Amino acid sequence: MIQVLLVDDHPVVRRGLRAMVDELPELEAVGEAGDGAEALRLLDALPQRPDVVLMDLQMGAGMHGVEATRRITALPDPPAVLILTTYSTDADILAAVEAGATGYLLKDAPPPELVAAVQAAARGETVLAPPVAARLLGRVRAGRPTLSPREAEILQLLASGLANRQISKRLFISEATVKTHLVHIYEKLGVDSRTAAIAAGLSSGLIRAG
């Protein structure tokens, strides 16, 4: 029997997942957590580590899924981490995979697909939902995105924690111009937020950390 830890900040989602898992003789839910920090505490408290952690990505104010995945996979003899989320942007996928996730599924996956994915993750196999695999393949085929020198400069300042107004003052351009550059950056990186743009920039080597 494959033991599973459920990590999601929505109690209704957790209840639904637990109900599904409890109906299956192949799987056993050994615990639930509302964010990554709680999941790490549970892993320390459980008498035996589960085989698979089903991990959401964005979890309110708590530790998000990527950071939790990074910490869990760094543990001695870690369980496999299978991402189960509604987010499928390139930046989210890359960040999760680079953090050590064994697989990446979307929450609209049918139960048989989810069960098969958990079983594969427990065996150490990589599992990617078809839309996710297609996005990754498309990214590989497209190659590394390119930014203009000014766009790369703005993204680097963004990663340093500067707000739009601070960036405009630093570069002696208007705040409206900064926003226009950000729109172009988001389009080129295939993201829709500042955090995702920074993650994509770091993962693709367009900017540096720190």
Convert the pLDDT of each residue in 24-82 to its tens digit.
Answer: 888 999 999 999 999 999 999 999 999 999 999 888 777 889 899 999 999 988 999 99
Of 147, 154, 163, whose CA–CA distance to 204 is shortest?
147
User: Are 45 and 17 a contacting pair, CB within 8 Å?
Assistant: no
Plot region of 16 (φ>0 → left; ψ -120 to 50 → alpha; else → beta): alpha
Rounded Cα gap, residues 37 and 28, in angstroms? 22
Percent of the chain with pLDDT over 90: 46
155-179 confidence digits (pLDDT tens)? 999 988 899 999 999 999 999 999 9
Tell me the pTM.
0.66
Q: Are 33 and 13 in contact (CB under 8 A)?
A: no
**pLDDT above 90 for 98:** no
Tell me the angle at which helices 175-189 and 164-171 cross, rounded to the nearest 10 degrees: 110
Give residue 71's pLDDT: 93
Q: How far is CA 146 from CA 57, 201, 203, in A?
A: 27, 10, 13
Q: 3-state secondary structure string, the chain?
A: CEEEEEECCCHHHHHHHHHHHHCCCCEEEEEEECCHHHHHHHHHHCCCCCCEEEECCCCCCCCCHHHHHHHHHCCCCCCEEEEEECCCCHHHHHHHHHCCCCEEEECCCCHHHHHHHHHHHHCCCCEECHHHHHHHHHHHHHCCCCCCHHHHHHHHHHHCCCCHHHHHHHHCCCHHHHHHHHHHHHHHHCCCCHHHHHHHHHHCCCCCCC
| Tokens describing residue 167 | 């960036």
pLDDT score at 139: 61
Residue type at 25 in one-letter notation: P
Kindly report the backbone phi and psi dihedral angles of residue 129, in degrees, each rounded to the nearest multiple of 5, phi listed first: -60, 145
